[in-house]
Chain A
Amino acid sequence: MARIDLDLAHSYLPDPQQDADYALLPLQMSFEDGGAYALLGPSGCGKTTMLNIMSGLLAPSRGSVKFDGEDVTQRSPQQRNIAQVFQFPVIYDTMTVADNLAFPLRNRRMPEAQIRKRVGEIAEMLELSGQLNRRAADLAADAKQKISLGRGLVRPDVSAVLFDEPLTVIDPHLKWQLRRKLKQIHHELKLTLIYVTHDQVEALTFADQVMVMTRGQAVQVGSADALFERPQHTFVGHFIGSPGMNFLPARTVGGKLEVAGRTLALPPNLGLPDGELKLGIRPEYVALTTADDTAALPVTVVQALDIGTHVLLTGQCAGSDLKIKARLSPELAAPQRGDTVWLRVLEAHTCFYKNEELIP
């Protein structure tokens, strides 16, 4: 078990010139010992690169990786004693489940009696005990993925377990089970777990801390709550939530806010700088109101979808092509297409962004 500190940058090109040449832009990041982390981001954002650098499959082109303060940048995955679970289950076809689980220990020349004990324990934990003598190749995808995981967990002194989208090939109903298993293992073994995914539900339910990445950059690290309530970057606002945050271009002039041709009264002591900025509000916090509300915009309803738990309303701001999405309670009378309604966009949860970054 170890605390992992990263201070590095990586490019797959020999001589990177600009930001776009980097798979990972210079970043500093620490993963606390025993924490459950998720790296969340769209495909190609650098999350797998980061994982491979941590496990030692890839050497960063600049900077260092430290485990418990010790520089391990040049060490092999085996020396780092890290476990990694891949997107597709990797099993040794010709071996039984037991031999698969014992493989990393045999490579480390652990005494056979100890190996047997350890394999038994891990199989028990992963509910593989009944299949120990079966050929691993004959099992279903979820069992194979459990074996891959087991090969990581079987080493008693493993520094951290890294997951690279491990549930991609698993059936939906088993996904849930396996995820619960992971949480349970985290709880029991107090291991550092780092989980790469592009699925926000997976990331938010699994991890204590989620790191949101885009284009080789970590834009925010925080709890599910922080990512939802106070996105540090407009990308996080877009990416987290379904649908994502509404962003409306706005301008502040002398304590007043101009949005879509209307002037809204800003609450005092907000301390916003004058000039161009973006107003961000979650669809969950947009509320129906009346025309005399000074924090509201008039919109024409383009679509009102009843999704059972709520009504998803899409409205177009009067006099512009700005769209606003709102999640409304199904108990209210849903507005019809073409109606004009007033939506309140300024309230406690509203965030303001300048150059895509949150104004604190």
Chain B
Amino acid sequence: MSTIKPVNQKAWWLVLPVVVCVAFSAVLPLMTVVNYSLQDIISPERRVFVGTEWFAAAMRDEELHSALWRQLTFSLAVLTVEIPLGIMLALSMPAKGWKASAVLVVVALSLLIPWNVVGTIWQIFGRADIGLLGAMLQKMGFDYNYTGNATHAWLTVLVMDVWHWTPLVALLCYAGLRSIPDAYYQAARIDGASRFAVFRYIQLPKMRGVLMIAVLLRFMDSFMIYTEPFVLTGGGPGNATTFLSEYLTQKAVGQFDVGPAAAFSLIYFLIILLLCFILYNWMQRVGTADKEGAGHE
């Protein structure tokens, strides 16, 4: 008895809705960007095909390079601060009872505030004349001024992002921690494990999944940060807080350099994709690699 399935090409029609949806939501918009990136549009009637010229220009653009480095440094700083801080926060949150609910609400609060409002809050908060933070630092003798000092501006944006998004990392970790069965903690007590060993060998491995999501989300979001620094500093002073999105917007909307902006959009997209891919694969391997031959060292 042969069990060869009859070939029915009509099944392709079932895939059609998905193809249409993806085409309109992703492929077509992306293709228009590809289209712009290959042309020099002088006016709606006059356009010249320029090939990869805009890409080459983007590669040589010094300002863009510094924006990229600024961006990478910022994202790295965001991850190095927010991930450990979020884990610590989650570890210190109460596990059950009314306190747990109260703490959850308080922690989640900053996540509910719209981006531009966050920017506005910090803009006022940090003002040296009337802002609570700014005026206080002035009183304490620090010459804090985020509108004039590049380092201060950069740090303020970082602190703002930490304030805004660490709760997300904390909530994810908290969920991961709550899913660890009691038996693990009991076994650890019986095995005589220290508090650090419990963290290192039980809590951290069990949080792997949620941490991976937290790292990827925070990386992507911080790499695309736009609204908050735009409201807070407008990218300044100078270019100190001009991150990639900011720079791109200046190009595309401010100067209407559609071609270079489109070329850079594609590069930007590929950079995020590549970095996420690398991060994801690296995290997949951490802690799961078979320690062949490592033995009981």
A residues neighboring B (CB under 8 Å): 52, 55, 57, 76-78, 82-84, 86-88, 90, 92-96, 98-99, 102-104, 107-108, 115-116, 119, 132-135, 137-138, 148, 151-152
Contact = CB atoms under 8 A, between A and B. Distances in A.
Taking chain B's interface residues, is the majority helix, strand, or loop, or is none over half, making it mixed? loop
B288 A78 contact: no
Contact of A133 (B183, B197, B295): B295
B3 interface: no
Given A104-B191, A151-B191, A90 B296 contact: no
A86 B185 CA distance: 11
A243 B291 CA distance: 51
A90 B293 contact: no
By Cβ-Cβ distance, the 3 closest A-B pairs, closest first, are: A98-B296, A78-B192, A107-B192
A27 to B, nearest CB: 23
A102 B189 contact: no
Nearest to B187: A90
A119 B201 CA distance: 19
Interface of B: 181, 183-184, 186-187, 189-194, 197, 201-202, 205-206, 287-288, 290-296
B184 A90 contact: yes
A197 B287 CA distance: 35
A133 B190 contact: no
24 contacts: A77-B192, A78-B190, A84-B190, A88-B181, A90-B183, A90-B187, A92-B205, A93-B205, A94-B201, A96-B291, A103-B193, A104-B191, A104-B192, A115-B296, A116-B296, A132-B295, A133-B292, A133-B293, A135-B288, A135-B290, A138-B290, A148-B187, A151-B191, A152-B190
Nearest to B287: A94
Given A119-B296, A132-B296, A94 B187 contact: no
Contact of A88 (B183, B201, B205): B183
Contacts of B295: 96, 98, 132-133
A196 to B, nearest CB: 13
A87 B189 CA distance: 16
A86 B296 contact: no
Contact of B190 (A83, A93, A137): A83
Nearest to A152: B190
B291 A107 contact: no
A84 B296 contact: no
A79 B202 CA distance: 21
Contacts of A137: 288
A265 B184 CA distance: 60
A107 B287 CA distance: 21
Contacts of B181: 88
Contact of A57 (B184, B189, B290, B296): B189
B202 to A, nearest CB: 7
